Structure 1
């Protein structure tokens, strides 16, 4: 559903985006740590119950790091959790917590929120943030991920950002 209230805000520049990225990296590290702890706890439980053989390893962490399959599954789990962190925030309200602090919002040009599929595509096209460098050579303040997903990052006014916080939208 289009949100005409947010359709006419100016696009965010490179340095504002970098500020939000910095905040969100701190949150992503926290997600990484929690996902890692949960994944390790599940792996330890599986090894303790005998569902996974220790294969001559003395510690569970040695087994996890020595077996390519286990290590790959563990790293995939962590990457999935971090990806879902961004995808869910972008598709639900258009803002991560860092973006909210910098008054930025991801949306389609008509103000509509991204779908989960579009948010996932945006995550891939962002190239771990490198896609934002395109803004520096692109006069219309669109990053690579913006162009590839037909979305934009806008800078909300203080009032619009506060209304979003108040209404939970």
Structure 2
């Protein structure tokens, strides 16, 4: 009689509901405000570096001549700051501050914490979605499993956490 080997499934934790679109977008609004603050800080650091490198008189002359002080290094730093913010938050606790405020968490499809690899894939998959007016995120409205492009590409999902009640004293 041939042996049949059945794959073992990891123990399933209680299924949490997939986060609806409105929760994802409101969390994203919160996080966008934080990312903008990080952008401002990054731009100030860039300005400080330019002041040290070029000197104040030269920078003053450049701005008076109508030149801007942005450069490729600044744009690369802004991309790096955005990547670091999201991947650090997702890998550390599964939540950005905006996600925490709206009680949602990013987990793998097996309800496990997100790895750096899956967080990076998710972040990269969000770029075309963003460039196409959030088409990848809005895709979850027509997707039978309510998954966005980012969810599918990274094998992750955003779930709603249970409400543990009001703050207790």
Deviations 1:52-108 (A, max 9, x none): xx5x97147979737xxx711111111211221111101111100000010000010
Partner Cα separation in structure 1 for residue 11 and residue 90 of structure 2: 15
Q: 5+ unaligned residues in a row in structure 2: which ranges?
A: 1-9
The yes-or-no answer on 1:148 pairing with 2:153 is yes
Query: Residue 114 of structure 2 aligns with which residue?
Result: 114
Larger helix percent: 1
Q: CA 1:43–1:64 in structure 2 vs 1: closer, same or farther (change >3 Å)?
A: farther
CA-CA distance at 1:159 after TM superposition: 2.2
Structure 2 match to 1:138 = 143
Counterpart residue number, 1:96: 96
Query: Which protein has greater RCO, CA pairs closer than 8 Å, 6+ apart?
Result: 1
Q: Of the two, which has the highest radius of gyration?
A: 2
User: Between Structure 1 and Structure 2, how many residues are aligned?
Assistant: 151
Normalising by structure 2, we get a TM-score of: 0.77
Q: TM-score, normalised by structure 1?
A: 0.77
Unaligned runs of 5+ in 1: 163-169
Aligned residue runs from structure 1 range 41-80, under 5 A: 41-48=48-55, 58-59=61-62, 65=68, 71-80=71-80
User: What corresponds to 1:25 in structure 2?
Assistant: 32
- The root-mean-square deviation of aligned C-alpha atoms, in Å, is 2.9
